[in-house]
């Protein structure tokens, strides 16, 4: 009985631990080296895409501010060399750039600001509506 339990545990361990990377990434517990490598690869891809679309490197830095600048520049430079060697023309982008990922802390403060701004906006709109109603009533009285 003990042997079968040990054998099952040994056989099941790789299956259970195989998803640890996915579980850790969902929980936000990522290895710093893996996260840095991922950002580096994304930066190079974005830099290459910016160069191919004819976007200036400074624009890429400002739009994709969360990516490391050295990775974006590396990808931009590699694509520039590749395009010059193969005489490839730039392609104009047809879609606007993707919005940056939101920081969970900023989401909370944004929701609070939106909630506070909503009553202020409705209070500011009320006098405007009353003025419109008064104007309409004045025009109706003239006729």
Over residues 38-93, the pLDDT tens digits come to 999 999 999 999 999 888 888 889 888 899 999 999 999 999 999 999 988 888 76
Exposed/middle/buried for 71, CB within 10 Å: 0-12, 13-18, 19+? Answer: buried
Q: Pick the residue with more confidence: 136 or 87?
A: 87
Confidence of residue 126 (pLDDT cuts 50, 70, 90): low
Report whether 92 contacts 54 (CB < 8 A): yes
pLDDT for residue 141 is more than 60: no
Contact 88, 82 (CB under 8 A): yes
pLDDT at 16: 61
Structure tokens at 83: 């395009």
For tokens 């009320």, name the residue. Answer: 126
Q: Is 67 left (phi over 0), alpha (psi -120 to 50) or beta?
A: beta
pLDDT tens column, 80-118: 999 999 988 888 767 676 677 777 666 666 666 666 665
């Amino acid at each position: 009985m003990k042997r079968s339990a040990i054998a099952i545990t040994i056989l099941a361990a790789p299956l259970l631990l195989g998803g640890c990377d996915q579980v850790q990434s969902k929980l936000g517990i990522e290895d710093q080296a893996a996260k840095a490598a991922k950002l580096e690869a994304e930066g190079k891809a974005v830099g290459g895409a910016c160069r191919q679309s004819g976007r200036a490197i400074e624009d890429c830095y400002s739009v994709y501010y969360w990516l490391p600048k050295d990775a974006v520049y590396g990808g931009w430079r590699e694509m520039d060399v590749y395009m010059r060697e193969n005489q490839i023309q730039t392609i104009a982008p047809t879609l606007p750039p993707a919005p940056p990922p939101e920081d969970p802390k900023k989401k909370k403060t944004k929701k609070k600001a939106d909630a506070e701004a909503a009553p202020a906006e409705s209070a500011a709109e009320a006098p405007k509506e009353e003025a419109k109603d008064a104007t309409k009533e004045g025009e109706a009285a003239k006729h």
